[in-house]
Amino acid sequence: MHISQSLIEWYHDNKRSLPWRETRDPYKIWLSEVILQQTRVNQGMDYYHRFLLAFPDVQGLAAASEQDVLKLWQGLGYYSRARNMHHTAMEIVENYHGIFPQSASGLKKLKGIGDYTAAAIASICFDEPTAVVDGNVTRVLSRLYALDTEVDTNSGRSLIAGLANSLLNGSDPGTFNQSIMELGALICSPKSPACHACPLAFWCEALKKNQTTNYPLKTPKKLPTVRHLNYLVISFMQDKEAFILMRKRTGNDIWKNMYDFPCIETESAVEADEVLAICKINGLLGSLPLVVTHVSDEYIHQLSHRTLLAKFIRITIPQIPDDDGTLIAIKKSKIDELPLPRLIDRYLANWI
Ligand code: SF4
């Protein structure tokens, strides 16, 4: 029996029952693929259902405000995914009459849809024979063929893509793609592959060499850079209501258009006094008296190439400061309604 045939038979008998496997609607497949990038299935499932409830189709997503989309995405991280989805939904409605392009090359013209997502949508929804390549597929193929090429290099990536396409079952490419990803997720796991239950064991070169976990080969990782962030959680009372000063992030970074607190970045961990001294030097909050009421423990927030070490310094001021154009006074009771980076959300969840 051929490799792809074994894989598909195994998939039919063993696949997990997941809601996006019950549909070929490109909007739902797109949504599931974008959510599942960098997110575990269990966590992603909730978001998938919530998103579809709020925006059941591409027209619904296109008509939403970016703030509502980001709010619904809150906690998933990698917010550019949500911003790109929103942008692309509007483009599909405006320029494509609300109908998704049916080929991988057409899909890749849309913002945020790269090789992987385009191949997934085109193969699952429109039967285009094009292979998906994600971390699971890469791991399975590098072991199956005991590839001695580092898979995170250009030559490694094109080698894997070539192998995936050569195995692709032309008559049912969507099922083949889902089969090999499912095998990577359920059987050919990174640390302890269950080779005894694997439909590819007969052909697997890494298993023959008894070196399964030596694959895939990767270039040595650089250590993530560490950044020290000192967030200023500045509050004041007005008409018996507590307000917090926040800022909307406008720079073109991962948290664009989300809300956080004013922040002083330092080269190393520093005490609250030093942070306040920097505020004074920078003229932040003018000459208002600042009273520190609480300093949080350090929060560690891991991003792909950076480790953020964040401290939250709670400060009260007697009144709203002169408008400097960057700080926005938000009622404390309304902060939850804003799109917030996960780090800020974690802090607020522990607010006492
Ligand atoms: S035999 Fe083991 S290492 Fe090889 S593909 Fe299957 S699970 Fe992965």
**Ligand 1 centre and the CA of 6: distance in Å?**
13
Domain residues for 316? 225-349
Q: Which two tokens stand for residue 29?
A: 């497949």
Domain shared by 195 and 257, yes or no: no
Domain shared by 200 and 278, yes or no: no
Q: Whose CA is nearest to atom 3 of ligand 1?
A: 212
**Alpha helix ranges (H) inside the chain:** 3-14, 26-36, 41-54, 58-63, 66-73, 80-95, 104-107, 115-126, 135-144, 154-167, 173-186, 205-208, 272-282, 342-349
Task: Identify the CATH number of the domain in which residue 184 sits.
Answer: 1.10.340.30
Residue 219 is assigned to a structural domain of this protein: no
pLDDT in tens, the chain (352 residues): 589 999 999 999 999 999 999 999 999 999 999 999 878 898 999 999 999 999 999 999 999 999 999 999 998 888 889 999 999 999 999 999 999 999 999 999 999 999 999 999 999 999 999 999 999 999 999 999 999 999 999 999 999 999 999 999 777 999 999 999 999 999 999 999 999 999 999 999 999 999 999 999 999 887 779 999 999 999 999 988 999 999 999 887 888 889 999 999 998 888 888 888 888 777 777 778 888 999 999 999 998 889 999 999 999 998 887 777 788 999 999 998 999 999 999 999 887 5
- Cβ burial, residue 233 (10 Å; 0-12/13-18/19+): buried
Active site residues: 33
Of the candidates 153, 183, 214, which is a domain's last residue? 214
What number does the ligand 1 atom closest to the CA of 194 have? 7
Of 7, 139, 188, 217, the residue with max ligand 1 atoms within 8 A of its CB, to mutate for a pocket test, comes to 188
Integer Cα distance of 345 and 280 in angstroms: 27
| Residues sharing a CB contact under 8 Å with residue 170, sequence separation 6 or more, in sequence order | 129
**Ligand 1 centre and the CA of 147: distance in Å?**
13
Ligand 1 proximal residues by C-beta, below 6 Å: 140, 143-144, 187-188, 193, 195, 198, 200-201, 204, 206-207, 212
Residue 319 is assigned to a structural domain of this protein: yes
Residue 283 is assigned to a structural domain of this protein: yes
What single DSSP character describes residue 337?
G
Domain shared by 127 and 102, yes or no: yes
- Return the HEC string of 75-97: CCCCCHHHHHHHHHHHHHHHHCC
Residue 321 is assigned to a structural domain of this protein: yes
Integer Cα distance of 349 and 214 in angstroms: 41
Domain shared by 191 and 233, yes or no: no
The predicted structure's pLDDT at residue 23: 96
Residue 37 is assigned to a structural domain of this protein: yes
At 157, the amino acid letter reads R
Rg (CA), the chain: 24
Domain shared by 175 and 230, yes or no: no
**Ligand 1 centre and the CA of 39: distance in Å?**
23
What number does the ligand 1 atom closest to the CA of 199 have? 6
Of the candidates 147, 182, 214, which is a domain's last residue? 214
Domain shared by 57 and 97, yes or no: yes
Domain shared by 184 and 148, yes or no: yes
What number does the ligand 1 atom closest to the CA of 215 have? 3
Residue 220 is assigned to a structural domain of this protein: no
Domain shared by 200 and 322, yes or no: no
**Ligand 1 centre and the CA of 161: distance in Å?**
18
**Ligand 1 centre and the CA of 9: distance in Å?**
16
Domain shared by 111 and 196, yes or no: yes
Integer Cα distance of 233 and 275 in angstroms: 12
Of the candidates 194, 214, 234, which is a domain's last residue? 214
Of 3, 183, 204, 211, the residue with max ligand 1 atoms within 8 A of its CB, to mutate for a pocket test, comes to 204
Strand partners, 248: 259
231 sits in which H/E element: strand 225-238
Task: Identify the CATH number of the domain in which residue 244 sits.
Answer: 3.90.79.10
Of 202, 212, 213, the residue with max ligand 1 atoms within 8 A of its CB, to mutate for a pocket test, comes to 212
**Ligand 1 centre and the CA of 265: distance in Å?**
46
Domain shared by 199 and 234, yes or no: no
Residue 42 is assigned to a structural domain of this protein: yes
Contact 305, 226 (CB under 8 A): no
Domain shared by 286 and 335, yes or no: yes
Q: Whose CA is nearest to atom 1 of ligand 1?
A: 201
Domain shared by 246 and 112, yes or no: no
What number does the ligand 1 atom closest to the CA of 139 have? 8
The predicted structure's pLDDT at residue 325: 75
The predicted structure's pLDDT at residue 352: 54
Contact 150, 220 (CB under 8 A): no
What total number of domains does the chain contain? 2
What number does the ligand 1 atom closest to the CA of 140 have? 5
The predicted structure's pLDDT at residue 39: 85
The predicted structure's pLDDT at residue 287: 77
Integer Cα distance of 48 and 29 in angstroms: 10
Residue 236 is assigned to a structural domain of this protein: yes
Q: Whose CA is nearest to atom 2 of ligand 1?
A: 195
